[in-house]
Amino acid sequence: MQVVKLSLNKANKIPIEADTVTPDNFAGKTKEEIEAILVWYGNGQCPLGDFFTVEVEGSDSAENTKIVFEGNVSRVKRIGQGMSAGEIEINGNVDMHCGFAMKGGKIVINGDADSWLGCEMKDGEIILNGNASYYVGSGYRGESCGMRGGKITINGNARDYLGEHMCGGEILVTGNVGLLPAISNNGGTIVIEGNATMPASEMKNGTVIIKGEISDMLPSYKEDGTEEVEGVTYRKFVGDVNAGGKGMLLIK
């Protein structure tokens, strides 16, 4: 087991783009080697050691590497981008694009996450013990497929466009979500335990379950009997008819 602790020396105003901070990239590296890893800072690149105090215990493969951020990293973006194994734990708030396109492993955030959490994720797991901002598990701007696999659990609320263009995988939100969750999605499952507004607009495929209240239910859905999921019976809607969709929207 290798454990790497990173603590931010001083809160930064200009964002740090930390797409190189992954277990894959840290595995087997010494403190000095990790300090020397470059991250983008504004329009230039700087070594990680310029911003963080790095502590390393042990040396191991990516699967057995854990990165721990102590405190807020609210202006550090792209943590865990493309990671395939291992674990990242963030004990504080995190900036945008955390877990972007991750392929495996696990990210646990004990704080809030800014937009694009788990965007284009392919596999692995993200657990957010806090609130999420916009575009959780969505696609990159202009892309027709967002999250394809893996699971995102949000133990809190999420803002608008949750799971936009999602094609696979699972998102669970224990709290409420904002506008247009599951917009244009084409697969996967989204479960919202709280309330939602205008869900599943232009959905082509996939399943959306909303256990709380719905505001502004879209008229472009066809009611089609009921469906039982885990012992609970929901009203079943099929659509979005506007997009020729065959998605399933289950509501109370």
Cβ distance to another protein smaller for residue 69 or 134: 134
Q: Does 42 bind another protein (CB under 8 A)?
A: no
Give the range of 18-26, 47-55, 137-145, 193-201 binding another protein by CB under 8 A. Answer: 137-145
12, 49, 140, 214: residue in contact with another protein (rule CB under 8 A): 140
Residues in the chain: 252
Cβ distance to another protein smaller for residue 140 or 234: 140
| Least Cβ distance, residue 142 to another protein (angstroms) | 4
Give the angle subtended at the CA of 8 by the CAs of 114 and 109, to the nearest 5°: 40
Give the range of 1-9, 74-82, 139-147, 194-202 binding another protein by CB under 8 A. Answer: 139-147
Cβ partners under 8 Å of residue 219, min gap 6: none
DSSP state of 191: E
| Least Cβ distance, residue 141 to another protein (angstroms) | 4
Cβ distance to another protein smaller for residue 13 or 141: 141
Q: How many CB atoms lie within 10 A of CB 225?
A: 8
Q: How far apart are CA 50 and CA 207, in angstroms?
A: 45
Q: Does 234 bind another protein (CB under 8 A)?
A: no
Q: Does 14 bind another protein (CB under 8 A)?
A: no
Give the containing element (helix H, strand E) for 65. strand 65-70
- The Cα diameter of the chain in Å comes to 62
Q: Cβ(182)–Cβ(240) under 8 Å?
A: no
141, 219, 230, 231: residue in contact with another protein (rule CB under 8 A): 141
Q: Does 143 bind another protein (CB under 8 A)?
A: yes
Give the range of 106-114, 136-144, 218-226, 229-237 binding another protein by CB under 8 A. Answer: 136-144
Q: What ranges make up the beta strands (E) of 92-231?
A: 106-109, 125-128, 151-154, 170-173, 186-192, 196-197, 205-210, 214-215, 222-229
| Least Cβ distance, residue 139 to another protein (angstroms) | 8
- Residue 8, strand partner residues: 52
Q: Does 142 bind another protein (CB under 8 A)?
A: yes
> Residue 89: is it exposed, middle or buried by C-beta count within 10 angstroms (0-12/13-18/19+)?
middle
Cβ distance to another protein smaller for residue 10 or 141: 141
Residues of this chain that bind another protein (CB under 8 A):
43, 140-143
